[in-house]
Chain A
Amino acid sequence: MNQPLHSVVCIKQVPDSAQIRVHPVTNTIMRQGVPTIINPYDLFALEEALRLRDRFGGKVTVLCMGPMTAEDSLRKALTFGADRAVLLSDRYFAGSDTLATSYALSMALLQIAREFGAPDIIFTGKQTIDGDTAQVGPGIAKRLGYNQLTYISKIRDLDPDGGALVVERRAEGGTQVLQTKLPVLITMLEGSNEMRRGSIETALAAARAQVTIWNAAAVGIEDLTRCGLRGSPTIVKKVFAPGARSEKAAMIGAEATPEASAHAVIDAIFGRMPAIEAQLFETAAQAAY
């Protein structure tokens, strides 16, 4: 590859789910006063991008769409070691669903390509913890015509000159090893790496860095009806809190022998969930062959 490797990591600022409360009257999430964090899955994506930079050089850009307060999350990403940060912020983006979000982000990515060079790899987390859709990453890949690799657990190898990338992807029942060509969009799985701690020099530079802030016009969005609430066909029909579980924990008394106690536990489980019993018998029968 002639150009140095350019990775862009898309991050989202989300409410810290550990500290969210549901309003007892309206059943809506009380965002006010809830601390915000970088979507935890995005951190695995960021660390992976930084590791590629460690090995092959190049730059890591972080991109975030959100309110102006999301600048805190971007600055934090810089503290971890990202080279530059871009905040996409405009009141017209408020209320975006995944369709409108992936549109706005892909427009910002095109602007990043124009100003800082085309991204070779775009990273996202596998999903966000507030929306849980896992749709934005694939949406960006589709719009930009990038190959997409979702649920990636490991980047095995990259040949920056040939542009070939080998990754491990978690799939049902096993791990797929996939090879593809750059440019590519990768959504990273949790637990795939551990975020580093930036050095004091990195932290100082991050504290003083200028975050690039773009609005809709700055990334070339002319049709505002594709943004925010107007550009979002998703309709939230109803918000409700699930009712309390009716099943109660049952006490199983101590039987005469350990075997008898074990049988009592098994009977209690199979009695309620015959499907598990059937599956167990099936597995046992297969193992017998």
Chain B
Amino acid sequence: MSEMQAQEPQFDAIVVGAGPSGNAAAYVMASEGLNVLQIERGEYSGSKNVQGAILYADALEKIIPDFREDAPLERHVIEQRMWTMDDRSHTGVHYRSDDFNEEKPNRYTILRAQFDKWFNARVRAAGATVLFETTVTELVRDLSGKVIGVRTDRGGNPIMAPVVVLAEGVNGLVGQRSGLREEVKPGTVALALKEMHFLPREVIEARFNLSGNEGVVIEAMGTITKGMTGTGFLYTNEESISVGIGCIVDDFVEGGETPYGLLESFKNHPSIKPLLAGSEIKEYAAHLIPEGGYRAIPQLYGDGWLVVGDAGQFVNAVHREGSNLAMTTGRIAAETVVMLTRKREAMSRANLAIFAKRLEETFVMKDLKKYKGIPGLLHGGKAQFFGTYPRLISQAMQTWFRVDGVDKKSKEGAILRSFREARGWRGMMGDAFRLVRAWR
């Protein structure tokens, strides 16, 4: 980190990164009249970003209320399938409702490369200056340690601003290098892989019982992750299907499974394979997801800086939410900066603490706090949660549904016995107790 004498700031704020959190922050500040510089290392906004992807409308609506008019949306989600899977079966809870065919749908599937590009075009239209293919290499501080600007890999003079919003994503290299937070730990990040499979629109509609722009989401867990902590997914897009799987990095290291091998066997699962039949792979991508939850959140603000989005570990792994937390943290950070700028108050650690305080009042911190015990619980009990229970559930279902001359009372007994033998009453009681406690 370089130290500098204070210079005239060229911008009111600098945003590092053009993903959902950076775009939200830059958009809100620019539309409120601030002179904003956004710096993105990729060729365009979205070029480096990977997500399933589901867009949760509410978080974006609070930033761009009329986004539905021109945002590139794929399908609105009318059906959610939650599957627990063993090697040959899945047991599912499906929820489908015509209520989701509403005027302003709640969730959409999107393609991030297109969506982020659109979002960033709005950022530029709002008046922000956006630099692409430029990497922020370090934060510049004054003699008191306050962050007053950034340096980039293009060299030259540093660019000065009273506040830097770090929306740099999960790895958070700038913040890390500047000593604002530690390196991400392999136990708190998941490595997720995803493929896009092209299928004609009519095939998708017939295969998933859809019409028009209706879409289906499948979230799955079980033996598909081969004993590792993780989940799989399958989302319907307009003319393609996104299919992927992700696990905690520690588990990959420990178990020696290859990520692509895992995705390959998920795609070949008898419940998934027919959904992908006849498709053509268009795209292959991988990305890290911060899944450490509340306990992994780093320091979020300091003299002249704020952290938003994945860089702040804002992902709700239980509910598969991330981009909405990113946009919300980006928006609230921006609103804090706008408020301080208008009042001509310093971007000091004490003043920027308002950001964290306001976050506490939103679903972001409330949800992450609620589930703070879940990541540890699932990781610690991965043998049961991703192996034993999914297998038991499948066996129980099969025993129950197979008509083979065995009386129902004996079947019930066999099912109960299988659970008891596999995990023991005490083990099951313990798992249930821990799960309930972590969930509350």
Partner of B47, one of A35, A198, A200: A35
A199 & B156 in contact (Cβ 8 Å cutoff): yes
Q: With contacts A21-B198, A24-B280 known, is A200 near B133, CB below 8 A?
A: no
Q: Mark A206-233, 1 if CB is under 8 A from B, else 0.
A: 0110000000000000000000000000
A24, B154: Cα distance in complex, Å: 43
A200 & B44 in contact (Cβ 8 Å cutoff): no
B residues engaging A (CB < 8 A)?
Answer: 37, 43-44, 47, 111, 113-114, 129-134, 152, 154-157, 159, 198, 200, 280, 282
Partner of A199, one of B111, B129, B155: B155
Partner of A207, one of B129, B156, B198, B200: B129
**A167-219 CB contacts (< 8 Å) to partner B:** 197-201, 203-204, 207-208
Interface size (A, Cβ < 8 Å)? Answer: 17
Confirm or deny: A284 has a beta carbon within 8 angstroms of a beta carbon on chain B: no
Chain B CB within 10 A, most for which of A72, A197, A200, A201: A200
Chain B residue with Cβ nearest A22? B280
Chain A residue with Cβ nearest B153? A197
Confirm or deny: A25 has a beta carbon within 8 angstroms of a beta carbon on chain B: yes
**A23-47 CB contacts (< 8 Å) to partner B:** 24-25, 33, 35
CB of A64 to closest CB in B, whole Å: 17
B44 & A198 in contact (Cβ 8 Å cutoff): no
A200 & B155 in contact (Cβ 8 Å cutoff): yes
Question: B154 — which chain A residues lie within 8 A by C-beta?
Answer: 197-200, 203
Q: With contacts A21-B282, A200-B152 known, is A35 near B133, CB below 8 A?
A: no
A79, B155: Cα distance in complex, Å: 14
Partner of B134, one of A24, A33, A35, A203: A203
CB of B221 to closest CB in A, whole Å: 30
A135, B403: Cα distance in complex, Å: 74
B200 & A25 in contact (Cβ 8 Å cutoff): yes
CB of B252 to closest CB in A, whole Å: 28
A200, B132: Cα distance in complex, Å: 11
Question: B132 — which chain A residues lie within 8 A by C-beta?
Answer: 76, 79
CB of B265 to closest CB in A, whole Å: 26
A228, B411: Cα distance in complex, Å: 75
Chain A residue with Cβ nearest B130? A207
Q: With contacts A21-B282, A79-B133, A207-B131 known, is A201 near B198, CB below 8 A?
A: no
Q: With contacts A24-B198, A35-B47, A207-B131 known, is A200 near B156, CB below 8 A?
A: yes
A208, B30: Cα distance in complex, Å: 14
Q: With contacts A33-B114, A35-B47 known, is A200 near B130, CB below 8 A?
A: no
Q: With contacts A21-B198, A198-B154 known, is A204 near B47, CB below 8 A?
A: no
* 30 pairs from A and B in contact (CB 8 Å cutoff): A21-B198, A21-B280, A21-B282, A24-B198, A24-B200, A25-B200, A33-B113, A35-B44, A35-B113, A76-B132, A79-B132, A79-B133, A197-B154, A198-B154, A199-B154, A199-B156, A200-B154, A200-B155, A200-B156, A200-B159, A201-B156, A201-B157, A203-B131, A203-B154, A204-B131, A204-B159, A207-B129, A207-B130, A207-B131, A208-B129
Question: A33 — which chain B residues lie within 8 A by C-beta?
Answer: 111, 113-114
A21, B129: Cα distance in complex, Å: 33
A25, B282: Cα distance in complex, Å: 15
A282, B37: Cα distance in complex, Å: 66
CB of B110 to closest CB in A, whole Å: 12
Chain A residue with Cβ nearest B240? A33
Q: With contacts A35-B44, A197-B154, A199-B156 known, is A204 near B129, CB below 8 A?
A: yes
